[in-house]
Protein backbone atom coordinates (compact mmCIF):
# COMPACT_ATOMS: atom_id res chain seq x y z
CA UNK A 1 0.00 0.00 0.00
CA UNK A 2 1.28 3.46 -0.83
CA UNK A 3 0.69 6.93 0.47
CA UNK A 4 -1.46 7.76 -2.57
CA UNK A 5 -3.95 4.95 -2.07
CA UNK A 6 -4.26 5.33 1.71
CA UNK A 7 -7.67 5.30 3.29
CA UNK A 8 -8.66 6.45 6.77
CA UNK A 9 -7.31 3.97 9.31
CA UNK A 10 -4.55 2.61 7.04
CA UNK A 11 -1.02 2.62 8.43
CA UNK A 12 1.85 2.99 5.95
CA UNK A 13 5.63 3.10 6.22
CA UNK A 14 6.88 6.69 6.45
CA UNK A 15 9.16 7.57 3.48
CA UNK A 16 11.05 9.94 5.72
CA UNK A 17 11.89 7.92 8.87
CA UNK A 18 10.82 4.43 7.70
CA UNK A 19 8.65 3.92 10.78
CA UNK A 20 5.33 2.19 10.29
CA UNK A 21 3.45 5.20 11.53
CA UNK A 22 2.07 7.11 8.56
CA UNK A 23 -1.69 7.64 8.83
CA UNK A 24 -4.25 10.02 7.41
CA UNK A 25 -4.67 12.66 10.08
CA UNK A 26 -6.58 15.89 10.44
CA UNK A 27 -3.97 18.64 10.63
CA UNK A 28 -6.28 21.19 12.25
CA UNK A 29 -4.74 22.67 15.44
CA UNK A 30 -1.23 21.67 14.31
CA UNK A 31 1.42 24.38 14.13
CA UNK A 32 3.34 25.07 10.93
CA UNK A 33 5.98 27.55 9.83
CA UNK A 34 5.78 29.79 6.81
CA UNK A 35 8.78 31.93 5.85
CA UNK A 36 9.69 33.97 8.96
CA UNK A 37 6.62 33.01 11.01
CA UNK A 38 6.51 29.97 13.27
CA UNK A 39 3.67 28.41 15.21
CA UNK A 40 0.93 29.24 12.75
CA UNK A 41 -1.86 27.03 14.06
CA UNK A 42 -3.99 25.58 11.28
CA UNK A 43 -7.64 26.49 11.84
CA UNK A 44 -9.30 24.46 9.08
CA UNK A 45 -9.82 20.74 8.56
CA UNK A 46 -7.19 19.34 6.23
CA UNK A 47 -6.59 15.62 6.09
CA UNK A 48 -3.21 14.39 4.88
CA UNK A 49 -0.73 11.59 5.59
CA UNK A 50 1.25 12.46 8.70
CA UNK A 51 3.85 10.37 10.53
CA UNK A 52 3.26 9.60 14.18
CA UNK A 53 6.98 8.90 14.69
CA UNK A 54 8.89 11.75 13.02
CA UNK A 55 6.04 14.21 12.57
CA UNK A 56 6.58 14.60 8.84
CA UNK A 57 3.47 15.69 6.95
CA UNK A 58 2.95 14.87 3.28
CA UNK A 59 0.72 17.43 1.65
CA UNK A 60 0.13 16.77 -2.01
CA UNK A 61 -2.51 17.04 -4.69
CA UNK A 62 -5.94 18.47 -3.98
CA UNK A 63 -5.31 19.55 -0.39
CA UNK A 64 -2.14 21.45 -1.23
CA UNK A 65 -3.87 24.65 -2.35
CA UNK A 66 -6.25 24.61 0.61
CA UNK A 67 -3.29 24.13 2.95
CA UNK A 68 -1.12 26.86 1.46
CA UNK A 69 -4.07 29.28 1.26
CA UNK A 70 -4.81 28.70 4.95
CA UNK A 71 -1.16 29.17 5.97
CA UNK A 72 -0.86 32.31 3.84
CA UNK A 73 -3.97 33.74 5.49
CA UNK A 74 -2.61 32.95 8.97
CA UNK A 75 0.75 34.44 8.01
CA UNK A 76 -0.80 37.73 6.85
CA UNK A 77 -3.01 37.90 9.94
CA UNK A 78 0.04 37.41 12.19
CA UNK A 79 1.95 40.17 10.41
CA UNK A 80 -1.02 42.55 10.44
CA UNK A 81 -1.60 41.86 14.13
CA UNK A 82 1.89 43.25 14.89
CA UNK A 83 1.00 46.50 13.11
CA UNK A 84 -2.40 46.76 14.81
CA UNK A 85 -0.86 46.20 18.25
CA UNK A 86 1.86 48.77 17.58
CA UNK A 87 -0.60 51.46 16.43
CA UNK A 88 -3.00 50.78 19.31
CA UNK A 89 -0.27 51.30 21.89
CA UNK A 90 1.51 54.20 20.23
CA UNK A 91 -1.75 56.09 19.48
CA UNK A 92 -2.72 55.78 23.11
CA UNK A 93 0.63 56.49 24.73
CA UNK A 94 2.57 58.84 22.51
CA UNK A 95 0.27 60.90 20.27
CA UNK A 96 2.94 61.15 17.59
CA UNK A 97 1.73 61.62 14.00
CA UNK A 98 1.97 58.45 11.97
CA UNK A 99 4.41 59.95 9.45
CA UNK A 100 6.82 60.66 12.30
CA UNK A 101 6.66 57.04 13.35
CA UNK A 102 7.33 56.03 9.77
CA UNK A 103 10.36 58.25 9.69
CA UNK A 104 11.53 56.87 13.02
CA UNK A 105 11.06 53.30 11.83
CA UNK A 106 12.96 54.05 8.64
CA UNK A 107 10.05 53.26 6.31
CA UNK A 108 8.43 55.43 3.65
CA UNK A 109 5.46 57.73 4.33
CA UNK A 110 2.19 55.81 4.28
CA UNK A 111 3.94 52.50 4.85
CA UNK A 112 2.11 51.71 8.10
CA UNK A 113 -1.23 52.20 6.32
CA UNK A 114 -0.11 49.92 3.52
CA UNK A 115 0.81 47.30 6.11
CA UNK A 116 -2.63 47.65 7.69
CA UNK A 117 -4.29 47.09 4.33
CA UNK A 118 -2.01 44.09 3.74
CA UNK A 119 -0.54 45.71 0.64
CA UNK A 120 2.84 45.08 2.20
CA UNK A 121 4.18 42.69 4.81
CA UNK A 122 6.59 43.92 7.49
CA UNK A 123 10.07 42.42 7.38
CA UNK A 124 11.15 40.29 10.31
CA UNK A 125 13.23 43.13 11.76
CA UNK A 126 10.44 45.70 11.43
CA UNK A 127 8.00 43.25 12.99
CA UNK A 128 10.37 42.76 15.94
CA UNK A 129 10.47 46.53 16.53
CA UNK A 130 6.69 46.88 16.20
CA UNK A 131 6.12 44.06 18.68
CA UNK A 132 8.76 45.35 21.10
CA UNK A 133 7.15 48.80 21.24
CA UNK A 134 3.64 47.32 21.53
CA UNK A 135 4.63 45.04 24.39
CA UNK A 136 6.82 47.46 26.32
CA UNK A 137 6.39 51.01 24.96
CA UNK A 138 9.16 52.65 26.98
CA UNK A 139 11.60 49.76 26.55
CA UNK A 140 10.78 49.75 22.84
CA UNK A 141 11.43 53.49 22.59
CA UNK A 142 14.74 53.03 24.35
CA UNK A 143 15.67 50.31 21.85
CA UNK A 144 14.76 52.63 18.97
CA UNK A 145 16.85 55.40 20.52
CA UNK A 146 20.00 53.27 20.17
CA UNK A 147 19.95 53.79 16.43
CA UNK A 148 17.52 56.65 15.77
CA UNK A 149 17.25 60.24 16.92
CA UNK A 150 13.94 60.40 18.78
CA UNK A 151 11.72 63.47 18.53
CA UNK A 152 12.05 65.64 21.65
CA UNK A 153 8.64 64.69 23.09
CA UNK A 154 9.55 60.99 22.96
CA UNK A 155 13.06 61.51 24.27
CA UNK A 156 11.55 63.30 27.27
CA UNK A 157 9.69 60.11 28.14
CA UNK A 158 12.97 58.23 28.54
CA UNK A 159 14.44 60.75 30.95
Residues forming contacts to Zn ion in the complex (CB under 5 A) are 14, 16-17, 51, 53-54, 56
Chain centre to alpha carbon of residue 103 = 24
Burial (0-12, 13-18, 19+ Cβ within 10 Å), 70 = buried
Taking the C-alpha atoms of residue 150 and residue 142, their distance in angstroms, rounded to an integer, is: 9
Q: How far is the CB of 12 from Zn ion (least distance, A)?
A: 10
18 or 73, CB closer to Zn ion?
A: 18
Q: Which residue, 22 or 129, has its beta carbon nearer to Zn ion?
A: 22
CA distances to 13, 60, 77 from 57, rounded to whole Å, are 13, 10, 23
- If the CB atoms of residues 21 and 76 are measured against Zn ion, the closer one turns out to be 21
Amino acid sequence: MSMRTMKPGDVVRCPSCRANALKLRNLKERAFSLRDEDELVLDVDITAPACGACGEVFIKGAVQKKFSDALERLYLARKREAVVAFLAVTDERFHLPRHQWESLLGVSPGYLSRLLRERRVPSTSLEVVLRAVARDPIGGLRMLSYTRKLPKELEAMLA
